[in-house]
A = this chain, B = another copy of it.
Amino acid sequence: MLDVSLLGTGGMMPLPYRWLTSLYVRYNGKGVLIDCGEGTQIALNSLKLSAKHIDVMCFTHYHADHISGLPGMLLSMANADRTEPVVMVGPKGLKRVVPALRVIAPELPFDIELREITENTYDFNLDELRLKAFKVRHNVICYGYSMTLDRAGRFDVERAEKAGIPQRAWNRLQKGDTVEMDGNIFTPDMVLGPPRKGIKLTYTTDTRPTEGIVNEADGSDLLICEGMYGEEDKIENAKKNKHMTMYEAAKVARAAKVKELWLTHYSPSLTKPERYMKAVRKIFPEAVAAKDGRSVTLGFEKE
């Protein structure tokens, strides 16, 4: 189960009525934050979420609107008595930018591990959650992120009994572990059906639409994607500034066959994104003009 909160939906600068784009995902008592612009800690706080539970921080890139809130966030995590280490993942530059910003947050009661991405993709884990960074196309090196929670096949009690597997091994086999017991070795494939549909979430902002994004977002339950511009004639701005229009985002969502699309990272000039949704939904009906704080719990499908 993933608890997903889109903390803000703005691009470029925070506004009195719109925080900067940032995503917070809770999983298994741990937290993943993607991007941390100025004010992100306030947006988190306003949803009654604690800064203490941020185990992984991912950065798409280092334009200020995606990282300017980092020193304040780190200090608030310290103030919330966090002592567990934090992993930071981001494009090349992470080891230059984070220490520089920490000039005003030098003393922290937790360790930070900096992981600079050097390839086009980077896979990592938070417990059972599989995270993946994938390169997108902005005017600086920029990555999108997907999170996938796999779901094992259904446990076949009849097969387990027929194979004489002791009941006390069942739970671990269901979790995918191989079990050695009383001199026998039992493997999950002995009792599990084919893997079932898991949960997939994809987040990408500050990019032109690309084939790579369509591939990486393929089959997501939720795609959170920038839709910087709503006016049809802003396509030239989108191309020039390496962003997307809402219509381009809708086409990505359609091509990737996602279940739902949340638009975010609106231009400060785009004060009423919902105004363009009728046209956007003609391309992809399950599109939403997200507002700050939009949240959902993504769970496994009922069978």
Copies in the complex: 2
- Tell me which residues across on chain B come within 8 A of A12, comparing CB atoms: 79
* CB < 8 Å neighbour of A64 from B96, B100, B104: B104
Measured CB to CB, the closest approach of chain B to A167, in angstroms, equals 51
Contact of A227 with B by CB under 8 A: no
Number of A interface residues, CB 8 Å? 31
Measured CB to CB, the closest approach of chain B to A298, in angstroms, equals 26
Instruction: Name which of A42, A45, A62, A97 has the most chain B CB atoms within 10 A of its CB.
Output: A42
In the complex the two chains form, is A64's CB within 8 Å of B75's CB? yes
- Tell me which residues across on chain B come within 8 A of A219, comparing CB atoms: none
Contact of A126 with B by CB under 8 A: no
| Distance in angstroms between the alpha carbons of A69 and B65 in the assembled complex | 11
Contact of A230 with B by CB under 8 A: no
Contact of A46 with B by CB under 8 A: yes
Bitwise interface map of A from 31 to 63 toward B, beta carbon under 8 Å scored 1, else 0: 000000111011001100000000000000011
Residues of A bordering B, CB below 8 Å = 12-16, 37-39, 41-42, 45-46, 62-65, 67-69, 71-72, 75-76, 79, 96-97, 100-101, 103-105
